[in-house]
Amino acid sequence: MELTIVTAYFDIGRESFKGYERGNSKYINYFRFWARMKNNLIVYTSLEFKNEIEEIRKSFGLLNKTKVVVIDDYKNFDKLLYEKIKNAMDNEIALNFHNDVKRPESWNADYNFIMLLKSYCIVDAIMKGYAEGMIAWLDFGFNHGGSDGLINEKEFDFVWNYDFEEKINLFSYQKLDNYRPIFDIVRSMDVYIRGNIIVAPDYLWKEFNILSKKAMKSLVDCGLCDDDQTICLMAYREKKEIFKINNVKKWYDGLKCFGGEHLTVRTEKEEKNRSYRIYKERARYYLLDGKYSLAKKYYKMYLKEKINIKTQRKKNSILWKNIY
């Protein structure tokens, strides 16, 4: 069954997020990486990005399968809930409740609100007749331009088809813990559900929107807030029978393992070398920021990976000597 894809992009000033900087041009390039997909695509965005998004799809001969919906102010999706989120996050106690106060979901109300809007956009598309049947949410920045692991942009030139179960299909990050209190998950910032891909039939997207809204209201009424990954978990706990949890290993697997099997993945060696660099960068970042426990944590991960790489290289060297 061919899926209709819905995505969205709004400028929330992320280029100024210390340690998490991603400007508009970077996100546009992320989108360009996967924009060859031949499915019907609906993009919610502001006027400033409309022409560029349409030009990208036009360059792939897909303008006729593209609908760009211009939103003047994303806060208008739910002004009251936005204000509640903002009020909850303006509280310094709520900020310091999180283990890592530098992450956007700890301090930025617009970030958490935008993450919540995924189901709002899809319900709007359904109500306006732009989408029907099985509908997939795919993050605008999906795969981060190849850095997440799917490395060949030309391979996205295909129609995404997959016979998903007619439930709300979520993709796990780790094994779900159905008894752990939500406040502890918010505090620790642990992730159980990946929010970059969600697939469901049109009639369940409306229910998912209701459950997501209820989950966010429950959090902010307690003076807390979090992003879509925790909201998805709360929605699932509320009505498990309408959800399907798909257990996957990688962020891209919601596509790769469900209709995109042909997509080339970065090799294990390349992935290890990348992790090695990221751990070192993170350790340095937290050290400079005075977060010594986090700096120590990432430095230990860096050292462990460094030792693993050196050990593997030594084994390979011995192997080749024995061969020759």
CATH of the domain at 38: 3.90.550
Q: Comparing C-alpha atoms, which of 97, 95, 117, 116 is closest to residue 107?
A: 95
Instruction: Identify whether residues 56 and 135 lie together within a single domain.
Output: yes
Does the structure show a pLDDT above 60 at 321? no
Which amino acid is it at 153? Answer: E
Query: Is residue 186 classed as helix, strand or coil in its secondary structure?
Result: helix
Model confidence band, residue 297 (pLDDT cutoffs 50, 70, 90): confident
Rounded to whole angstroms, the Cα distance separating 108 from 46 reads: 20
Instruction: Identify whether residues 205 and 287 lie together within a single domain.
Output: no
Tokens matching residue 125: 């598309």
Model confidence band, residue 15 (pLDDT cutoffs 50, 70, 90): confident
Instruction: Identify whether residues 34 and 119 lie together within a single domain.
Output: yes
Per-residue pLDDT, 295: 77
Evaluate whether 276 touches 305 at the Cβ level (below 8 Å).
yes
Per-residue pLDDT, 147: 84
Q: Rounded mean pLDDT of 125-154?
A: 95
Instruction: Identify whether residues 83 and 145 lie together within a single domain.
Output: yes
Structural domain of 127 = 4-265
Phi, psi of 195 (to 5 degrees): -100, 0
pLDDT (tens digit, 9 = 90+) per residue, 91-138?
Answer: 999 999 999 999 999 999 999 999 999 999 999 999 999 999 999 999
Instruction: Identify whether residues 132 and 96 lie together within a single domain.
Output: yes
Lowest mean pLDDT across 158-167, 185-194, 283-292: 283-292
Per-residue pLDDT, 319: 46
Instruction: Identify whether residues 229 and 102 lie together within a single domain.
Output: yes
Cα distance from N-terminal residue to C-terminal residue, the chain: 52
Sheet holding 168-172, edge to edge: 66-70, 41-45, 4-9, 134-138, 193-201, 168-172, 243-246
Evaluate whether 243 touches 236 at the Cβ level (below 8 Å).
yes
Rounded to whole angstroms, the Cα distance separating 203 from 279 reads: 42
Evaluate whether 121 touches 236 at the Cβ level (below 8 Å).
no
pLDDT (tens digit, 9 = 90+) per residue, 218-231?
Answer: 999 999 999 999 99
Instruction: Identify whether residues 127 and 188 lie together within a single domain.
Output: yes
Instruction: Identify whether residues 295 and 177 lie together within a single domain.
Output: no
Number of domains comprising the chain: 2
